[in-house]
Amino acid sequence: MKLFIDTGSVAEVEEIAAWGVLSGATTNPSLLAKEQGSPGDIIRRICELVDGPTSAEVVSDDARGMVAEGRALAGLHEHVVVKTPFSKAGLAACRELSSDGIRVNMTLVFSANQALLAAEAGAAYISCFMGRLDDISIDSAQVLAEVVGALAPSYSDSQVLAASLRHPGHVVQAAQIGCEVATVPAKVLRQMLEHPLTTAGIERFKADWQARPEFAEWLSGLVAGRQAVAAG
């Protein structure tokens, strides 16, 4: 499963992209509205930083407006994927944009039936929201499994993207269910790093090594020798 970052913050993308784990990003109007500066500049910068698919969402209610906004957003950067909301207009816009070679992420999908319609409209990504389902006491893992199961036999061109992820458990569930992508907020990505045994283990290894000062000297020499060879 590929990991995308779910954010409108360039600073967060800079921080997490440095870990080498990101394959793309998703924004939405709410996330971008929290940031200072031009949305276009932010979207372009995120595209450069993740060097992969970066979703930017249309806001029109009608298909014609969505298509016009989608074409304009796609012109910002080659990595832009146009997000259209799930609706009759969103489906029509998805079909038109996809037919023009513009990749579409159909968002706000909450059922397998909606996902099947999105796939038929040519969506490259289908964003199924876990957190918002859990918020209304619907088992998001069950819905996501239904979406993945419904698309798997016939729709290899549409990737299921687990969205609205609120904690590390959601990310693991999305992977176990077979989602191709999970888009994860920076806070949850940071939580995914943590385990007390990892921290304790690093401290123990370091302390044991430092108890043998000649070992530190040997390793410094090894590194210096290697660098000298590389420098010619």
Binding residues for ligand E4P, per CB under 6 A?
6, 26, 28, 107, 127, 129, 131-132, 163-164, 183
Select 59 or 219, whichever has its Cβ closest to ligand E4P: 59
Active site residue 83: yes
Select 119 or 133, whichever has its Cβ closest to ligand E4P: 133
Say what angle helices 186-193 and 10-17 make with each other, to 10 degrees. Answer: 30
Residue type, position 123, single letter:
A
DSSP characters over 128-140: EESHHHHHTT--H
Select 103 or 132, whichever has its Cβ closest to ligand E4P: 132
Determine the residue with CB nearest ligand E4P: 164
Q: Give the pair of three-digit tokens for residue 4.
A: 């995308």
Say how far apart CA 177 and CA 147 lie, in whole Å.
10
Backbone angles phi, psi at 180, to 5 degrees: -75, -30
**Distance set, CA 40 to CA 35, 81, 114 (Å):** 12, 13, 30
The residue from 2, 34, 83, 88 that is catalytic is: 83
Say how far apart CA 96 and CA 90 lie, in whole Å.
10
Say how far apart CA 23 and CA 126 lie, in whole Å.
16
Select 187 or 212, whichever has its Cβ closest to ligand E4P: 187
The residues carrying an active-site annotation are 83
